[in-house]
Structure 1
């Protein structure tokens, strides 16, 4: 890596550290568009501070959020109005997942923290027949297509940071305080294994270093 490129990347890191915005929350409206207008029950895996849970509750009969971080779950409870049909649980996203079945299961930027195949098998088991699984995930950059999406995300990321923060320096929101882990699977492998486990699943690369998966259980 050349010295000018290193300086550019350091400057970019400083810029985003001062003007953070939530890449995961950016996908929340897209997630809602993949779901029925009304559904009975939903489960958000890795719910964090509960932003998506509260959005799901507007359209669902009951919504449950689960996260392994007891502190962030307590914050989610405090941020959630008592009139919403929402509950939260602390637990492992695979071994301690609340029993279903659920009409909707969502999982945002969590799957790369979990054993991939086991997690998808458990999600599928908890999903009701006809239910919808929506995943927004992170993949390791490996192919030319991966790097192309990553490069396209750089200028878009700067624009979004300026627009969402109105050009100002801001404090990192609670929704962005979860531990970060680099993904160890590339998109091609993720897509191949997911389609084998979930026949008919739709996977797409997306901007901001994310991919999407939508599966409707027969």
Structure 2
């Protein structure tokens, strides 16, 4: 990397830090497009402050959100109107999922904190026949495709942050306040393990340093 390109990269990183926005929430509407218009029950794993769970509640009769952080679960409960059919619980994603099966299971920016294959098997066990699992995850850049997407995403990230924060000083999004462990699995490894655990799963690299996984249980 030349000194000029290094300085440009540093400037871009500083701009992005000054104009934060929620990369995970960017995919919430996309998640809804993968789901039926109506379904009975949903489980959001790693539910954070509850934005996705509340969106799911616009289509579901019952939504459960689980997160291992008591503070953020308390925040989700405070932000959720009493009439909304959502319950938030402090629970471990592998051992604490509330009993029963769910028509929809979502997991956004959480699975890289878990043993990947074991997590998929647990999610599969709790998914009802005919149900849909949607994962938005993070992977470690390894291939030329990963670095190309990263290069494309960086200026788009800056432009999106500027547009979202234009004319105001935006607080840092709640889902971005906690430091998270970087992803340690590459996308090819994720694809390989996912295909073993969930035959027929559809995986795609996405912008803004994410990938998606969609699996329908027959």
TM-score (norm 1): 0.96
Q: How does 1:56-205 map to 2 (within 5 A)?
A: 56-166=56-166, 168-205=168-205
Unaligned runs of 5+ in 1: none
Q: C-alpha displacement at 1:158, in angstroms?
A: 1.2
Tell me the CA shift for residue 167 of structure 1.
Answer: 5.4
Match of 2:24, SS? helix
Cα offset, 1:58, TM superposition:
0.5
Residue 33 (structure 2) pairs with residue 40 (structure 1): no
Shift of 1:165: 1.1
SS in 2 for 1:27: helix
Give the alignment's Cα RMSD to 1 decimal. 1.2
Query: Which 10-residue stretch deviates more, 2-11 or 141-150?
Result: 2-11
Deviation of the 1:8 alpha carbon: 2.3
Alignment CA distance shift 1:40-1:82 (3 Å): same
Aligned to 1:24: 24
Contact 2:19 2:158 in 1 (8 A): no
In the TM superposition, what is the alpha-carbon distance from 1:168 to its structure 2 partner? 4.1
Structure 1 residue 113: Cα displacement: 0.5
The answer (yes or no) to whether the contact 1:40–1:60 under 8 Å persists in 2 is: yes
Q: Which moved more, 1:128-137 or 1:170-179?
A: 170-179
Q: 2:5 aligned with 1:11, yes or no? A: no
With the length of structure 2 as denominator, give the TM-score of the two structures.
Answer: 0.96
SS in 2 for 1:54: helix
Runs of 4 or more consecutive aligned structure 1 residues displaced over 4 Å after TM superposition: none
2:164 and 2:149 map into 1 onto residues whose CA distance is 21
Number of aligned positions between the proteins: 218
Q: Is the 8 A contact 1:24 1:109 kept in 2?
A: yes
CA distance in 1, matches of 2:178, 2:101: 27
Q: Within 2, Cα distance between the matches of 1:25 and 1:170? A: 15
Contact kept in structure 2, 1:18 and 1:171, CA below 8 Å: no
CA deviations 1:26-51 (Å, max 9, x no partner) are 00000000000000000000000000
